[in-house]
């Protein structure tokens, strides 16, 4: 319902005009964890085709925030840190 004029950035999709806020809300990429949209200043983490806010990139089991370089696995939609997903199936095993 916002008036669209020369002071407002707008986007067209399927013949309809949207203000920037509504276009991002409806069609923009959303965080795989919190489902909120990203702002242009957000730093993100990626796992396969999922994108996360930095603060949302956490182990689903223990809640530890995963940082760049941390080993993790993605099971369905759940991120798991190395401690919670264990060694890779073909990796070394403890005696």
- Flag whether 73 is in a domain: yes
- Flag whether 35 is in a domain: yes
Count of the separate structural domains present in the chain: 1
User: Which structure tokens are listed for 38?
Assistant: 């990203």
The helix or strand, by DSSP H or E, that contains position 46, with its residue range, turns out to be strand 44-47
- Flag whether 77 is in a domain: yes
CATH code where residue 42 lies? 2.10.110.10
**Domain carrying residue 45:** 30-87
Contact 77, 32 (CB under 8 A): yes
Mean pLDDT of 3-29: 81
Give tens-digit pLDDT for 70-79. Answer: 999 988 888 9
Mean pLDDT of 1-21: 79
- Flag whether 3 is in a domain: no
pLDDT exceeds cutoff 80 at 90: no
Main-chain phi, psi angles of 53, to 5 degrees: -65, 150
- Flag whether 65 is in a domain: yes
pLDDT exceeds cutoff 90 at 7: no
């Amino acid at each position: 319902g916002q008036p669209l004029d020369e002071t407002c950035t707008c986007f067209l999709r399927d013949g309809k005009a949207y203000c920037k806020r509504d276009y991002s809300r409806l069609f923009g990429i959303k965080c795989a964890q919190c489902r909120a949209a990203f702002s242009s200043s957000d730093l993100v983490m990626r796992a396969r085709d999922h994108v996360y806010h930095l603060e949302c990139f956490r182990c689903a089991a223990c809640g530890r925030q995963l940082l760049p370089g941390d080993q993790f696995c993605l099971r369905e939609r759940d991120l798991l840190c190395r401690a919670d997903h264990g060694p890779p199936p073909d990796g070394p095993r403890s005696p």
